[in-house]
Copies of this chain bind each other. A is one copy, B any other.
């Protein structure tokens, strides 16, 4: 059954490439099939609709970013701290052309797919974020004068603010510098001093894996 999975991967690879180069609207199933060296019908053996195919590309892209986060977490448990997490995730998103394009080009690249429930569940994303915040709260690693739901809301606002800001960023700073700035901001806004242990990193990694 491996060849089947291989083909699926190949199709997703090809689709991601076309998506990055031409944008959501301009890529047809025929294009994808042609570039993958197979017939159009074969694509439909894997996904029922065009939306599902591109949704799968999107989901895989997110999964890859999340996988990066898990890897970073394993390499350095301190990434479990909210401010480190923020910077790392910021970079993980901007590093991937498709996600970056989604942020910058917005509608251009993904059309109405973003926001729709195909391929990726935004609700689950929020749920995981909330759980993560709970974990941090229990360990006393975030400020205690705000409830976890408030912290989650504020954190996401800040995070998305920095992401959106990438749209009109000049050349006065590097992306790494902006990631550090986000980290510093989040740290003083929400974090409490504390040493992260491997158990915490594991717990967060498991949470994140729920998104893959």
* Supplied contacts A146-B181, A146-B184, A186-B189, 12 more A-B pairs, CB within 8 Å: A143-B188, A149-B172, A150-B181, A154-B181, A157-B161, A157-B162, A157-B164, A160-B161, A161-B161, A185-B189, A185-B190, A189-B189
Indicate whether A159 reaches chain B with its CB closer than 8 angstroms: yes
Answer yes or no: A153 CB below 8 A from chain B CBs. yes
| Inter-chain contacts of A153 with B (CB < 8 A) | 165, 173, 178, 181
Does chain B have a CB within 8 A of A158?
Answer: yes
Residues of the B chain whose Cβ atoms lie less than 8 Å from the Cβ of A149: 172
Q: Does A156 contact B (CB under 8 A)?
A: yes
Query: Interface majority SS on A: helix, strand, loop or mixed?
Result: helix
| Complex Cα gap A182–B145 (Å) | 14
- How many angstroms between the C-alpha atoms of A188 and B182 in the bound complex? 14
- B146–A156 touching, CB < 8 Å: no
| Chain B residue with the shortest CB-CB distance to A188 | B189
> Would A165 and B157 count as touching, CB distance under 8 A?
yes
B156 to A165, Cβ gap below 8 A? yes
B154 with A160: CB separation less than 8 A: no
Ranked 4 nearest A-B pairs via Cβ: A161-B161, A189-B189, A157-B161, A157-B165
Closest to A156 in B: B165
Residue in B closest to A162 when the chains form the complex, CB atoms: B157
Which of A150, A157, A190 counts the most B-chain CB atoms under 10 A from its CB?
A: A157
CA distance A178 to B157 in the complex (A): 11
Tell me the bound Cα distance from A186 to B185 in angstroms.
Answer: 9
Chain B residues, CB < 8 A from A157: 158, 161-162, 164-165, 182, 185
Residues of B within 8 A of A186 (CB): 189
